[in-house]
Structure 1
Amino acid sequence: MEHEMRAEYEEGVEPGPDAEVKNWHMVRRDGIKAMCGRMLSESAATQPADRWGEPEGEPFCFLCGAVYLREVP
């Protein structure tokens, strides 16, 4: 299964190139439901799953990380 990271923003903040990311979550490819169960915006920024654990992927949802580690080989 393929994954990607999707941004979560503070309440009331619209997704966009200048919007500050509150947390990065892991979703199954092209999904909007994070692995922790949080629903994310379809227009939220995304980045490849291989940025998980790198500075570009911080801050990251710890619950998504735990579920992701159990799912990837």
Structure 2
Amino acid sequence: MEHHIIAEMIEPGGDTLKEWHMIRAGEEEAMCGRVIDLSAEKLPSEAWGTDRARPFCHTCGALFLREVP
């Protein structure tokens, strides 16, 4: 299954990052269930666990670890 990381901003359309979330390809909400603006900044799933993708949603991270080998 393909995944990518998407930013959740403090204010919709704003420029201050709240946290990063993992989203499955083709889905409209983060793995934790939050509805995220799909036009927000994205990172490849390989950025998970790096400084580039911090702070990261704990729930998304835990679920992602259970889905990837």
TM-score norm. by structure 1 comes to 0.86
Number of aligned residues? 69
Which one of 31, 37, 46 corresponds to residue 42 of structure 2?
A: 46
- RMSD between superposed Cα atoms in Å: 1.3
Q: Percent identity?
A: 45
Contact 1:4 1:30 in 2 (8 A): no
**Greater displacement, 59-68 / 29-38:** 29-38
Runs of 4+ in 1 over 2 A off after TM superposition: none
Match of 1:4 in 2: 4
Once residues 32 and 50 of structure 1 are traced to their aligned partners in structure 2, the CA distance between those partners, rounded to angstroms, is: 20
Structure 1: gaps of 5 or more residues: none
Contact 2:12 2:37 in 1 (8 A): no
SS of the counterpart of 1:4?
A: strand
TM-score norm. by structure 2 comes to 0.91
SS of the counterpart of 1:32?
A: coil
